[in-house]
A and B are shown apart, each in its own frame.
Chain A
Amino acid sequence: MSGGPVRTTSAIRMEGIDKYFGPIAANRGASLDVAPGEIHALVGENGAGKSTLMRILGGLMKPDAGRVEIQGRDVTGWSTNEAIAAGIGIVHQHFMLVPTLTVAENLVLGSEPTRNGVLDYARAAASVQSLSAETGLKVDPARKVADLSVGEAQRVEILKVLFRGAKILVLDEPTAVLSPPEVRELWTVLRGLRDKGDTIVLITHRLDEVVDLSDTITVMRAGTTVARIRTAETTPAEIAKAMVGREVSLSAGKRVAPSAAVESRSNRGLEVRNLAIRGSRGNRVVDGVSFAVRPGEILGIAGVEGNGQTELIEGLAGLREVAEGQILIDAVDITSKRVDERHDEGLSHIPEDRLRRGLILEYSIADNLILGLGKTFTRNYVIEQQAVLTNAGEQISSFDIRPPDAALAARALSGGNQQKVVIAREMSRGFSVLLASQPTRGVDVGAIEFIHQRLLEARAAGKAILLVSAELNEVLALSDRIAVMYRGKFAVVMPASEASEEVLGEYMIGTKKGAA
């Protein structure tokens, strides 16, 4: 199991790292030992302390205790500049590029080659070109970053750290926004870099990626390191167990045959006719979409982010103006109804961004559990405190929200528990149609399993569910039918039984187009 004593000097060696934020320990005795020239996966649930450990490595934070060594040199508590100079390159989850500048300009930012005090653009472009050729990270140096796809932008991020001479690369959730073919391309590049002698640390919570790519795995739980395993000697189930601390079913309960409850000819459920929604720049981000989701059915929408899924859901939920078309719930036209009126018609909505939309972070769990349910809990405009608390107690125990304290602010919960609050609330209203947008985003393995179970229960109870997810596995495992959204339109709608990652992937990046 354990990696044993490493003969050569470790590329990174972190030991006994403590880091506190107020009373909360982000790291407690965490350790990491990365051999030179390997791909090392750092895995763990949300809030396990992976990002904090990497921030300490990159000099963005100083540890409260512990020791950091790079190639045998003690660098504990160094600065970001020292880290960069020593060849540490961190590729963040969120891109940090200047959209109005070109690729080449972004890369040389901070170390611009100049001639007579003016940016020597030709030289910058040339050096970018050669680095690009050397690493296989293909990107046109003359293009503006704003015009790049997400996958291309990420390549630029990686190029940027390599350009600064990074020999130790840290990638934080690099595949969160990529389509399957883009992921495969990234893997090729990372393997190439490793074979060239670079060291790579990959932070992720997708176990398939870990097994696919890494040489060694470090598992973190609750701020500390619980396992260091050679990838060849383990299985996804074992890694998941180490992450969560118990057995987990990974298959999202591969579904019990197509539900017999689907009433295909009824007009109940959700129906959308020729819906068009304009984006902030006036373009049609949802461009004439028609579909129906019937009771007892899950329609999954796959697609690379930014192809109109967000706007579609917001339009259906009443949070965004609809330019054309009709939305019906149980045959009632709700196109021009307000959010609260849509609730009354039986619409429930798990929003994609729980921190911005789904929760009022300063409100207690109890108060968050009645957001949008005001009418149920008030009499003559006065909130019935006792009813609110009773409701909170019930939801907390049936959704296993931890810690089980109704008075605690939502801000204090972990991502998974925050999402449970949202889902508990949305499932507690009387609804016939559920919009579930990225229901398990940023949620750990244990909670994912739980949330999937709840969605399937709702389906069995005859609810019509529209599921949007960037996780293809999730869409494949839960849906009865799958639509792929590409540039504001449904590129295809197919039964889940005919879909696979490969097939969906081609529709997602637009290489294959079908009749929707």
Chain B
Amino acid sequence: MSASVTAERKPSRFATAAWRERAEEALLPPLVALLVALICGDLLILSYGQSPLEVYSLLIEGTWGNAYGFGQVLYKATTLTFTGLAVSFGLRAGLFNIGGESQLAAGGFAAALAGLALPGTTPLILALPLCIIAAGAAGGLVGAVPAILKTRFGAHEVIVTIMLNFIVLAFLNWMIAEHLHVPETLHTPEIRAGALPRLADMFPAFHGSAANLAMIVVLAVAIAVWFYLFRTSGGYGLRAVGLQPDAAEYGGISVGRVWLKALTVSGVIAGMGGINYVLGYKHYYEDGFAAGAGFLGIAVALVGRSNPFGVIIAAFFFATLSQGGLAIHAFVPKQMMDVLQAVVILAVAMSVPEVRRVLRGSRRRSDA
């Protein structure tokens, strides 16, 4: 066989094509979704008799335009990154974890319990890891249930995680309402240890915003998830199972074990998200604090294409919409932002393969 020695110089050209394709695949759907959302937003704003330009500039002003608004975006993006990473981790293994909402709540609850149980004198360097571990363990526990039911009995994880949301949230509600609440409220007493410094403590301009150092934690988690998925043998196997379980099995990867791991770790990550509110913001657990951030994590994961760094960007995007809704409330109802969110999610869900096909077709024709 004529194994060509010159082969070594050739790859660069192909490599560029491969990279361009990969970048296209990662970036196009979210960008198209954003464009569609902007157009819909324009129409909606016009229907209220307002100027889109003015409303959008107000939106930017109220979010990225001042320290408080930006701090709120940071805070919201932190929780959404946790839940988005959690959903992504499952998706990479081909599993849909819809249980982020209850895993997030369970994590927050466990973090608060740990913070309450530790003596007030515990240094942060010790209290923080303990609280994070408690949060992760609680989320992982909730995530392990569908994992075990799926691998042992073949129960579909979507059904189990949805149903588990009700059970876990009801259980937490009962724990708070019956046992742990401060009278007249639905929250626990303030934690004694593990409270994270807020950004405002260091930069007074952020005064009043909830942004806190949990975002450092989530950044570390995002990097860890990326490293695990793309640089370790475990991540190689996990993605293989997500793409082609039959081929993974053929390659000696235990599909069941990967499922177990993926759903459990997904729960751990979502659970850790609880620290943002409990350790960083309120310093207590309050019933219903998750407020849909677990569910929105699904959208974040989809828009972020299940890539940890894409997830961060998507989390900022959704956090901006959510915070921006408050800023423009005087001109158009803040529910408009919910509509835009929905448009983005729908557009991403629809555009994934189709957009690429259309664009490639047109490029070919212009080349020819």
Seen from chain A, the residues whose Cβ lies within 8 Å of a Cβ on chain B are 20, 22-23, 317, 319, 338-340, 342-343, 349, 351, 356-364, 367, 370-372, 374, 377-378, 381-383, 385, 393, 396-400, 403-409, 412, 450, 453
Once the chains are docked, how many angstroms separate the CA of A381 from the CA of B244?
21
Additional 6 contacts, C-beta under 8 A, given A360-B243, A371-B240, A408-B18: A317-B250, A356-B247, A360-B248, A405-B11, A412-B18, A450-B1
Check B250 against A357 for contact (C-beta < 8 Å): yes
Taking each of B237, B250, B361, B368, which has the highest tally of chain A beta carbons within 10 Å of its own beta carbon? B250
Q: Restricting to B335-368, which residues have a CB under 8 Å from any CB of A?
A: 357, 360-361, 363-364, 367-368
A22 to B364, CA, bound (A): 6
Q: A338-B254, A357-B250, A396-B7 are in contact. Are A403 and B364 (CB under 8 A)?
A: no
Please give, as numbers and ranges, the residues of chain A lying within 8 Å of B234 by CB-CB distance: 381
**B interface SS class:** helix
Interface residues of B in 167-194 (CB under 8 A from A): none
Given A23-B364, A357-B246, A409-B18, is A382 in contact with B252 using a C-beta cutoff of 8 Å?
Answer: no
Q: How far is the CA of A364 from the CA of B360 in the complex (A)?
A: 21
* B2, B247, B254: the one within 8 Å of A357 (CB): B247
B121 an interface residue at 8 Å Cβ cutoff? no
In the bound complex, residues from chain B placing their C-beta under 8 Å from that of A340 are 252-253
Q: Across the interface, do A363 and B240 meet the contact criterion of CB distance under 8 Å?
A: yes
CB <8 Å contact, B18 and A407: yes
Rounded to whole Å, the gap between the CB of B251 and the closest CB of chain A is 4
Residues of A within 8 A of B3 (CB): 397-398, 400
Interface flag for B23 (CB, 8 Å): no
Contact B243 A363 (CB under 8 A): yes
Give the residue of A22, A343, A403 whose beta carbon is less than 8 angstroms from that of B252: A343
Contact residues in B for A382 (Cβ distance below 8 Å): 231-233
On B, residues with C-beta under 8 Å from A are 1-5, 7-8, 10-11, 14-15, 18-19, 21, 231-234, 236-237, 239-240, 243-244, 246-254, 357, 360-361, 363-364, 367-368
CA of A360 to CA of B233, assembled, Å: 15
Q: Kindly state the separation between the CA atoms of A319 and B233 in the bound complex, as whole angstroms.
A: 21
Contacts A356-B244, A357-B250, A397-B7 known; A383 to B364 CB distance under 8 Å?
A: no
**CA–CA, A361 to B249, complex, Å?**
14
**Given A23-B364, A367-B236, A372-B250: A403 in contact with B14 (beta carbons within 8 A):** yes
Count A-B pairs with CB separation below 8 Å. 115
Complex CA gap A404/B357 in Å reads 25
CB pair A405–B14 under 8 Å, yes or no, is yes
Taken together as a complex, chains A and B put the C-alpha atoms of A374 and B250 apart, in Å, by 13
Select A378's contact among B7, B233, B253, beta carbons within 8 Å: B233
> Whose C-beta in chain A lies nearest to the C-beta of B237?
A374
A405 with B233: in contact, given A400-B3, A450-B1 (CB under 8 Å)? no
Partner of B246, one of A356, A397, A403: A356
A400 vs B1: C-alpha distance when bound (angstroms): 8
- Which residue on chain B has the smallest CB distance to residue A371? B251
> Can you list the 7 inter-chain pairs with the closest CB atoms, starting with the nearest?
A340-B252, A405-B14, A22-B360, A372-B251, A339-B252, A371-B251, A404-B7
- Chain A residue, CB-CB nearest to B240: A360
Choose among A358, A400, A450 the residue that contacts B250 (Cβ–Cβ < 8 A): A358
Name the distance in Å between B21's Cβ and chain A's nearest Cβ. 8
Min CB–CB distance A170 → chain B (angstroms):
27
Q: Least Cβ distance of A322 to chain B in Å?
A: 16
* Residues of A contacting B4 in the complex (Cβ-Cβ under 8 angstroms): 397, 400, 404
Kindly list chain B residues whose C-beta atoms are within 8 Å of the C-beta of A453. Answer: 1
- Bound-state CA distance A55–B70 (Å) is 56
> Which of B14, B363, B364 contacts A407 (CB under 8 A)?
B14
A22 to B357, CA, bound (A): 7
Which chain B residue shows the least CB distance to A409? B18
Q: Contacts of A398 on B, CB cut-off 8 Å?
A: 1, 3
Chain B residues whose C-beta falls within 8 Å of the C-beta of A22 in the assembled complex: 357, 360-361, 364
Query: How far is B367's CA from A357's CA once the two chains are assembled, in angstroms?
Result: 36
> How far, in angstroms, from A93 to B18 measured CA to CA in the complex?
32
Chain B residues lying within 8 Å of A339, measured Cβ to Cβ, are 249-252
Chain B neighbourhood of A342, CB < 8 A: 252
The winner among A349, A351, A374, A453 for most chain B CB atoms within 10 A is A374
What residues on A are CB-neighbors of B249 within 8 Å? 319, 339, 357
Contacts of B21 in A (CB 8 A): 409
Q: Say which residue of A20, A343, A397 sits within 8 Å of B361 (CB atoms).
A: A20
With contacts A23-B363, A363-B243, A381-B232 taken as known, whether A372 is within 8 angstroms of B18 at the C-beta atoms is no
> Is the Cβ of B364 less than 8 Å from the Cβ of A360?
no
What would 15 A/B residue contacts be, using CB atoms closer than 8 Å? A22-B357, A317-B250, A339-B249, A349-B250, A351-B250, A358-B250, A359-B244, A362-B243, A372-B252, A374-B237, A382-B232, A393-B8, A397-B4, A404-B4, A450-B1
B residues in contact with A383, CB < 8 Å: 231-233, 236
Most buried by B among A22, A343, A453: A22
